[in-house]
């Protein structure tokens, strides 16, 4: 049997993610298998637009981040025919929380009641029975900028720094969020302490049995946005899981051997898409 040659994998990643569990775990796993990994940080680089040298010899580009700089470089790579995970369409589709929420609602995926627009108009539109609401910045991430309001009066008093906002109905839970993590068509479920409403005897993120309904919900979201590596933040309700948001390339907290599974998927995608490699 012929020995497979090492792959050349580019990892396009923002500085803020370099010290996190992913993609550092995946990078280490790929290197342990003998593959060449090039770390490409859009925060500390510059390129002339006619010079494609940074793409030379790449078999695949894996992306973690959603900054404008990263998305521009990702678009450039795709225009030059480089295989990418995730693709620009998928990342940008969940970067804008308003567009993400519209896509989820249009696809009839269960989500909280959600409003979009000027804060004053949301306060006028939302029925009192829907409070409390969680106010979200359109391009926020990692729970930054979230603001919980209990009444329309509180909402009107918020000094919101942006012209528009997203407001979601706050759904009660037992202090834990349901996290669904996906690599290709593999899905894992964990429960993680919620940023709102601490659970008694609070535990760290821990795996829970995956149901068929959760698996199908996760894969539907992946198909909707065209994502390969992603996670869902959900709340469990008596009617089933409700999707709060979808995130591209999470840390896979609580997923056993996440770095190995990511490395397996990346290498397998290259071999599948580029059989000569």
Q: What CA–CA distances, in Å, run from 216 to 62, 69, 103, 156, 219?
A: 25, 33, 17, 39, 5
Instruction: For residue 199, name the pLDDT band (cuts at 50, 70, 90).
Output: low
Distances (CA, A) of 59 to 11, 33, 266: 11, 15, 10
**CA nearest neighbour of 88 among 69, 76, 64, 71:** 71
Q: What pLDDT is stored for residue 137 in this prediction? A: 95
Question: Which conformational region is residue 205 in: left (phi greater than 0), alpha (psi within -120 to 50 degrees), or beta?
Answer: beta
Residue 53 DSSP symbol: G
Q: Judge whether 222 and 228 are in contact, CB under 8 Å.
A: yes
How much is the pLDDT for 197?
66
What CATH code is assigned to 8-86+256-273? 3.40.50.11950
Tell me, yes or no, if the two domains 94-98+173-248 and 113-169 fold the same way. Answer: no
Respond yes or no on whether the N-terminal peptide bond of residue 67 is cis (omega within 30° of 0): no
pLDDT in tens, 249-264: 999 999 999 999 999 9
Q: How far, in Å, CA of 238 to CA of 232, rounded?
A: 18
Taking the C-alpha atoms of residue 89 and residue 145, their distance in angstroms, rounded to an integer, is: 25
The pLDDT of residue 272 is above 70: yes
SS (H, E, C) 198-245: CCCCCCCCEECCCCHHHHHHHHHHHHHHCCCEEEEEEEEECCEEEEEE
Q: What is residue 50's predicted lDDT score, i.e. its pLDDT? A: 94
Q: Which of 120, 126, 123, 100 is nearest to 221 (CA)?
A: 100
Sorted by where each begins, the domain ranges of the chain are: 8-86+256-273, 94-98+173-248, 113-169
103 within 8 A of 93, measured Cβ to Cβ: yes
Residue 171, pLDDT score? 93
Average pLDDT over residues 86-108: 97
- In this prediction, residue 76 carries a pLDDT of 98
* pLDDT (mean) for 232-259: 96
Question: What's the average model confidence in pLDDT over 122-138?
Answer: 97
94-98+173-248: CATH topology: D-amino Acid Aminotransferase; Chain A, domain 1 (3.30.470)
Peptide bond preceding 188 in cis form (omega within 30 of 0): no
Return the closest-CA partner of residue 152 out of 118, 126, 115, 113.
Answer: 126
d(CA 13, CA 63): 6
Taking residues 45-55, report their average pLDDT.
Answer: 96
Average pLDDT, the chain: 94
Query: What is residue 202's predicted lDDT score, i.e. its pLDDT?
Result: 63
Instruction: Quickly tell me which residue has 């609070």 as its tokens.
Output: 202
The pLDDT > 90 percentage for the chain reads 88
What is the per-residue pLDDT across 135-152, written as a single tens digit (0 to 9) for each? 999 998 777 789 999 999
Query: What integer is the mean pLDDT of 82-97?
Result: 97
Higher pLDDT, 36 or 203: 36
pLDDT (0 to 100) of residue 58: 98
Q: Residue 172: its pLDDT value, please?
A: 87
Looking at the chain, the whole-number percentage of residues with pLDDT higher than 70 is: 96
What's the confidence (pLDDT) of residue 274?
A: 86
pLDDT in tens, 53-79: 999 999 999 999 999 999 999 999 999
pLDDT tier, 164 (very low <50, low <70, confident <90, very high otherwise): very high
Is the pLDDT reported for residue 276 higher than 80?
no
By CB neighbour count within 10 A (0-12 exposed, 13-18 middle, 19+ buried), where does 272 fall?
Answer: exposed
Q: Which fold has domain 113-169?
A: Dna Ligase; domain 1 (3.30.1490)
Res 1 pLDDT > 60: no
pLDDT for res 65: 96
CA pair distance 150, 132, nearest whole angstrom:
4
Instruction: Name residue, tokens 């309700």.
Output: 237
């Amino acid at each position: 049997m012929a020995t497979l040659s090492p792959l050349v994998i580019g990892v396009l990643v923002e500085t803020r993610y370099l010290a996190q569990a992913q993609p550092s775990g995946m990078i280490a796993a790929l290197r342990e298998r003998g593959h060449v990994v090039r770390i490409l940080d859009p925060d500390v680089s510059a390129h002339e637009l006619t010079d494609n040298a940074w793409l030379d010899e790449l078999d695949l580009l894996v992306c973690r981040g959603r900054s404008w700089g990263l998305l521009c470089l990702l678009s450039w790579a795709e225009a030059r025919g480089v295989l990418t995970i995730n693709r620009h369409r998928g990342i940008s589709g969940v970067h804008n929380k308003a567009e993400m929420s519209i896509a989820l609602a249009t696809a009839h995926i269960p989500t909280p009641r959600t409003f979009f627009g000027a804060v004053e108009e949301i306060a006028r539109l939302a029925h009192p029975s829907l409070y409390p609401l969680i106010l979200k910045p359109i391009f926020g991430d990692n729970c930054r900028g979230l603001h919980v309001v209990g009444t329309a009066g509180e909402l009107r008093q918020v000094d919101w720094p942006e012209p528009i906002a997203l407001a979601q109905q706050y759904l009660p839970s037992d202090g834990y969020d349901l996290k669904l993590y996906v690599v290709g068509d593999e899905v894992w479920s964990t429960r993680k302490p919620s940023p709102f409403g601490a659970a008694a005897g609070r535990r760290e993120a821990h795996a829970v049995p995956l149901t068929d309904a959760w698996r199908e919900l996760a894969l539907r979201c992946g198909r909707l946005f065209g994502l390969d590596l992603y996670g869902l933040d959900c709340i469990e309700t008596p009617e089933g899981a409700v999707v709060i948001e979808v995130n591209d390339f999470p840390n896979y907290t609580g997923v056993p051997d996440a770095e190995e599974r990511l490395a397996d998927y990346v290498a397998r995608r290259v071999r599948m898409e580029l059989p000569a490699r």
